[in-house]
Amino acid sequence: QQPVQSPQAVILREGEDAVINCSSSKALYSVHWYRQKHGEAPVFLMILLKGGEQKGHEKISASFNEKKQQSSLYLTASQLSYSGTYFCGTEFGGTSYGKLTFGQGTILTVHP
């Protein structure tokens, strides 16, 4: 049950804001957000746990709606360095501990 990310791609000018969504059809234990630049490893941004706990970079904000099984990543006042592909990884808990199921990615391009 791969989560669905939207939008698939977004183009911004520096300083603009964007929201990336991640939806699951299955109950989630946690949602993990990563950014990957071309040819590089995915970089951890944030983890949101069932129950409300969050861990991640101070400049990144995200939400987790447990009722809707949906998470949103908020990128405000975008910078050129925000460009890359954003992935959400979902963890279902139970016997799925240790396994992340990733969305297809959202390509974010920030122009000067």
Partner 1 sequence: KAGVTQTPRYLIKTRGQQVTLSCSPISGHRSVSWYQQTPGQGLQFLFEYFSETQRNKGNFPGRFSGRQFSNSRSEMNVSTLELGDSALYLCASSYDRSRGTEAFFGQGTRLTVV
- Residues forming contacts to partner 1 in the complex (CB under 8 A) are 2, 29-30, 32, 34, 40-44, 47, 49, 55-56, 87, 89, 91, 95-105
Nearer to partner 1, 99 or 111 (CB): 99
Q: Does residue 101 contact residue 2 with C-beta atoms inside 8 Å?
A: yes
> Would you say 2 or 65 has its CB closer to partner 1?
2
What minimum distance in Å lies between the beta carbon of 111 and partner 1? Answer: 24
Nearer to partner 1, 5 or 112 (CB): 5
| Rounded Cα distance, 58 and 103, in Å | 23
Q: Are strands 43-49 and 54-56 parallel, antiparallel or unpaired?
A: antiparallel
Minimum Å distance from CB 112 to partner 1?
28
Q: Are 29 and 99 in contact (CB under 8 A)?
A: no
Rounded distance between C-alpha atoms, residue 103 and residue 112, angstroms: 28
